Copies of this chain bind each other. A is one copy, B any other.
């Protein structure tokens, strides 16, 4: 998972700052590294490990002057966390400079890399972005950007939403299945492309519309042009954007993320009602659905758990023997709210189940009489090959266990998952417009190569 953005601004001094603000609002999509490339009289690129605000300061942004910017925040899907993998990737080609920010994962990466290596290409990184860059450079030798992109897209398989700067042109592109979102906004400064609409709000711009699956947008000399690159027979928008990844204030492909999560709670309450005193989220991922559950069920909304706002993902537990304290550091129960109560906890999903167990126990220790667990998605049973780190099948608690077994493992009085139909209803798109592979094991593209050789 990553966040990408592109900015076209006539005010050349503002471009890098707009990209910065945009990335800042996409920080939830990746905290490992951040980078921005700006194309002006000079080509500027700066990347670093850590949060956007750690990587970029005022001085650095002020040096990066130009009309076009491409930005990226990265969430490591592999164990390896290193600066070489930070994006955008900037390459110099016969046809000029090309900066690429990529959100997605190619399932035929190894085949394409082998082909390129057989032609003598050398690779500096292990990222599929370098494969895309080399294919683009090759096609640009003989083709205009549109046709080059078309030809490259025919060769790629998997998910690949891209924002690119090619000399004086800013390009946004979404693969024909549209796994990952991309949306365009317009402001006084010019145009902005971003993974989510919250980034458009963050720079004070208005949404124009999303980039459609198989479509590209070219922005050049202040002109914006949409171009259909590939036919898109079906869509496969990642359903977990709605369930978990996207920010609740974003609108993805026309649908409010907050609205989906609220409806998930309402439908959960109807599908799996429970006699209880309070309903509480597991913070923060379950908050919106818990509010919806409360509304539909009429059960009082009251927080059983408070999260420590200062726990970052970089938190390293400082001692083996203190590992049992790990969940207590992240959140704490509010005894007054749960003592003697029957509590419904709402979370968005269960992956391995170990954290859920600790949370249930914590709420019990604080005096809860009963703890009922409701999950805002169906069981995750199959790995994702399109850019999301869902762990291998072996680690997924639901891959080989019945719901009742899981309930026992997490020590809940009752456990219920949202149904697949309930999820589709909550989203409000057709089933054929979503990628539900991790819930159904039915992949919208052939993933056999990726299954053999998992890089991430």
Contact = CB atoms under 8 A, between A and B. Distances in A.
A5 to B, nearest CB: 14
Interface string A250-276: 010000101100100000000000000
Contacts of A93: 117, 120-123
Nearest to A295: B300
B14 A322 contact: yes
Contacts of A62: 318-319
A303 B318 CA distance: 36
Given A17-B322, A137-B122, A204-B328, A301 B310 contact: no
Contacts of A114: 94
B122 A141 contact: no
A259 B336 contact: yes
A333 B262 CA distance: 16
A291 B284 contact: no
Contact of A122 (B98, B126, B310): B98
Interface in A198-221: 198, 201-204
A78 interface: no
Contacts of A300: 295
Interface string A224-264: 00000000000000000000000111010000101100100
A379 to B, nearest CB: 27
A335 interface: yes
Contact of A123 (B91, B138, B295, B306): B91
Integer count of this chain's copies in the complex: 4
Contact of A291 (B52, B134, B302, B308): B302
A378 to B, nearest CB: 24
A443 interface: no
A248 B306 contact: yes
A295 to B, nearest CB: 7
Interface in A309-366: 309-312, 314-316, 318-319, 321-322, 324-325, 328-329, 332-337
A373 interface: no
A27 B141 contact: no
19 contacts: A21-B329, A24-B311, A27-B309, A28-B310, A57-B316, A91-B122, A92-B123, A93-B121, A94-B118, A120-B137, A121-B137, A122-B133, A124-B124, A201-B332, A204-B325, A249-B335, A251-B336, A288-B303, A295-B301
Nearest 7 Cβ contacts at the A-B interface: A120-B138, A94-B117, A91-B122, A256-B336, A249-B306, A27-B310, A122-B137
